[in-house]
Chain A
Amino acid sequence: MMSLDLHGYGWMLWQGLERTIMVGLAAMGLAVAFGLLGAWGKFSRYRAARWFAGLYTTVVRGVPELILILLVYYGVPTLVQDLAAGAGHDLRIDLNPFVAGVITIGLIYGAFATEVFRGAFLAIPRGQIEAARAFGMGHVLVVRRVVLPQMWRFALPGLGNVWMVLIKATALISLIQLDELMRSADIAARATRLPFTFFFAASLLYLGITVVSMLVQGRIEAWADRGSRQG
Chain B
Amino acid sequence: MTGDENQPVAALRVSDLYKRFGALDVLRGVSLSAHERDVVAIMGASGSGKSTLLRCINLLDIPDAGEIRVGGELICMTFDRRGQRGPADRRQVDRVRTRLGMVFQRFNLWSHLTVLQNIIEAPIHVLGIPRRQAIAHAEHLLHKVGLHDKRDTFPAHLSGGQEQRAAIARALAMEPEVMLLDEPTSALDPELVGEVLKVIDALAEEGRTMLIVTHEIGFARAVSSRTIFLHEGTIAEEGPSWQVLDHPRSDRLKRFLSNSSGGDRARSRLIGGDDKR
Interface residues of A (CB under 8 A from B): 125, 127-128, 130-138, 141, 145-146, 149-150, 153, 226-229, 231
Contacts and interface: CB of A to CB of B under 8 A. Distances in A.
Contacts of A145: 121, 125
Given A130-B60, A228-B156, A135 B126 contact: yes
A150 B60 contact: no
B249 interface: no
A135 B60 CA distance: 11
For the residues of A in contact with B, the DSSP-based class is helix
Contact of A227 (B122, B125, B126, B156): B156
A179 to B, nearest CB: 43
A229 B97 CA distance: 31
Contact of B60 (A128, A133, A138, A231): A133
A226 B157 CA distance: 11
B37 interface: no
B63 interface: no
A150 B154 CA distance: 13
Contact of B156 (A128, A132, A135, A229): A229
Contacts, number: 77
B108 A125 contact: yes
Contacts of B224: none
B112 A149 contact: yes
Contacts of B108: 125, 127-128, 130-131
B112 A137 contact: no
Given A145-B125, A228-B111, A228-B156, A127 B104 contact: yes
B122 A150 contact: no
A127 B97 contact: no
Nearest to B182: A134
A135 B98 contact: yes
A59 to B, nearest CB: 31
A138 B94 contact: yes
Given A141-B125, A145-B125, A150 B102 contact: no
A136 B95 contact: yes
Contacts of B127: 136
A133 to B, nearest CB: 7
B97 A146 contact: no
A229 B106 CA distance: 17
Given A135-B121, A229-B156, 19 more contacts: A128-B110, A130-B60, A130-B104, A131-B110, A132-B122, A134-B58, A134-B60, A135-B122, A135-B170, A135-B174, A137-B125, A141-B125, A150-B110, A150-B112, A226-B154, A227-B111, A227-B114, A227-B155, A228-B156
Contacts of B90: 138
Interface in B172-210: 174
A22 to B, nearest CB: 32
B186 to A, nearest CB: 14
